[in-house]
Amino acid sequence: MIHIRIGDWHKLPVSLSELCINTTLRCGQSFRWKKSSEDEWSMALHGRILSLRQDSEYLHYRAIFPKPTNSLPTPPPSNSEVDEDDTLALIKHYLNLEPNLADLYAQWASADPNFKKKAPNFTGVRILKQDAWEALIGFICSSNNNISRISQMVEKLCVHYGPLIGHIGTQAYHDFPSPSALTGPKVEQHLRQLGFGYRAGYIYQTAVAVAQKEKGWLDALRNPESPVLGIDPKPAGEMIEGGRDGYRRAHEELLALKGVGPKVADCVCLMGLGWGESVPVDTHVWQIAQRDYKFGKGKNSSLTKATYDAVANKFRSLWGKEAGWAHSVLFTADLKTFSGRLVAKVEVKDEVKILKTENEGLVKEETITETAVVSVKKKTKREFEEEEEQVLKVEETTTRKSKRRKIT
């Protein structure tokens, strides 16, 4: 077992409306965060184990370093050195804490009544600034899959091919493997044995392709306004209907990789390369577009390349260059993990009248009305989610009405 140095807990003032880690870390962006204890999340990141927990006023964080460091940090920062004192900078960068989220929500809500209706229950959702390589492989694993199984696959990749950073209790934490670690001649066969199916070939061939490219190729596709840790941001050009030139170039180059279609390319652009206007459109988002934005009629009756672009352009016209971020809030709001507890509006009333004799010949007539909401069971299955039978909650209310009348 690797010897580790456990740092102290520190705290950073962050309200739940600006960041909610219990939502952000579970909504299908990153697949390696684990609950290390009650209300505590941990992951190996940049050569350390990073642990987070949160209360209503503060984000609490702690770094656990291997002692001595036995491997290079993964993902590696470009043109900068990571030392043991950069954890706060890493957290602010990774969690994308610089933008004022309340201002963004207000901007999106003013442009879209549907966002205004749903967003108040899902504040604090941020787009993480993840390593592009990890995002690429994670979303290749997402093909025809759900969050639980994607997380299991990513965990297997880390355990079998990533460097071990340390343990919390008996739980091992591995960093994400580099492209070269997944280029061995037996990798594809091994991944198939581990249950990756056809994705094994995609992962292997993509790793080979990326390893053969010039060093830093993926990071060169990043939005210069959202660079890697340690690099100053630069302007990214004017926003147009289909997205900025850099976004469209990155999307096109990603499509050349094995296992990368338009949705996976957009996921990587948004969550790995920092292109906020990237709007991944899967069957789940298509359902949102049909239900809430009047798509699905006439020429927009099915999800084709044309309707994919139409949905993305619609959202970009509403929300601007952070359309992918706003779309992710609605995506999260529609996940049953967070919003499946709908109450069926079926009321059952039962009335009872009680007569009570009071002084001075008065009779008190009291009516008790009990109203119950009937529980409903419903099976749902959406892309990215597991099929689950939901038991919807039952609510009961009791009201009393009384009146007095004189005995005749």
Q: Give CA angle at 325 (317, 19), nearest 5°.
A: 145
Lowest mean pLDDT among 1-5, 105-109, 140-144, 202-206: 1-5
Peptide bond into 73 cis (omega under 30): no
Percentage of the chain lying above the pLDDT 90 cut:
71
pLDDT of residue 83: 46
d(CA 329, CA 227): 23
Instruction: Kindly report whether the peptide bond that precedes residue 227 is cis, defined as omega within 30 degrees of 0.
Output: no
The Cα 249–Cα 23 span in angstroms is: 31
Q: What is the DSSP letter of 392?
A: -
Main-chain dihedrals φ then ψ at residue 58, nearest 5 degrees: -135, 150
**Paired strand residues for 349:** 371
The mean predicted confidence, pLDDT, of the chain is 85
Tell if the pTM clears 0.85, that is, is over it.
Answer: no
Q: For residue 147, which phi and psi values (nearest 5 degrees)? A: -60, -40
250-262 confidence digits (pLDDT tens): 999 999 999 999 9
H or E stretch including 22? helix 21-24
d(CA 118, CA 333) in angstroms, rounded, equals 7
What is the mean predicted confidence (pLDDT) over 294-307?
A: 80
β-pairing, 396-406 vs 362-373, is antiparallel
Measured at the CA of 9, the angle between CA 159 and CA 329, to 5 degrees, comes to 65
Question: Which segment of 98-107, 241-250, 260-269, 393-402 scores lowest on mean pLDDT?
Answer: 393-402
CA dist 244 and 28 (Å) reads 25
403 part of the active site: no
DSSP per residue, 57-126:
SEEEEEEEEESS--S--SSPPSSS---TT-HHHHHHHHTT-SS-HHHHHHHHHHH-HHHHHHGGGGTT--
Contacts of 341 (CB under 8 A, 6+ apart): 390, 392, 393
State the pairing for strand pair 48-54/58-66.
antiparallel
The DSSP-derived string for 336-382 is HHHH--PPP--EEEEEEEEEEE-GGGEEEEEEEEEEEEPP-EEEE--
Domains of the chain, each with CATH number or no CATH: 4-338 (1.10.340.30), 347-406 (no CATH)
Average pLDDT over every residue of 296-305: 75
Pick from 125, 49, 9, 23: nearest CA to 338:
23
More confident residue, 357 or 59: 59
Residue 253: Cβ-neighbour burial (10 angstroms; 0-12, 13-18, 19+):
middle
- Going across the sheet that includes 362-373, the strands are 347-357, 362-373, 396-406
Q: 116, 186, 215, 263: which is the annotated catalytic residue?
A: 263
Q: Is the pLDDT of residue 333 over 70?
A: yes
104 pLDDT exceeds 50? yes
- Percent helix, strand and coil across the chain, each to the nearest 5: 40, 20, 40
